[in-house]
Amino acid sequence: MEKQEKIYGYARVSTREQNEDRQIIALKEMGVPESNIFLDKLSGKNFERPQYKKLLRKLNEDSVLYIKSIDRLGRSYRDLSEQ
């Protein structure tokens, strides 16, 4: 039986006033099902974000994660490499 990859997307905006539409549209265009898109409206200063943590629990070796821009994941390259 062949393993099937699961496709996920992550989007983040820093404040509730910012609009996440461009990120969501881009993720959908990459083939990410809307039900597999996780969105946080929080600062990128750390990884203490509820939807990001929920996403991490779903990922496994067969998962593909799309993020429109690496800065949506985090600010610090050191922190990003640890993730």
- Cα–Cα distance between 71 and 43 in angstroms, integer? 11
| Amino acid at the residue 13 | V
What is the maximum alpha-carbon separation in the chain?
A: 46
Establish whether 43 is a catalytic residue.
no
Q: Across the chain, how many H-helices and E-strands are there?
A: 4, 3
Which residue is catalytic, options 14, 63, 69, 76? 14
SS3 8: strand
Active-site residue numbers?
14
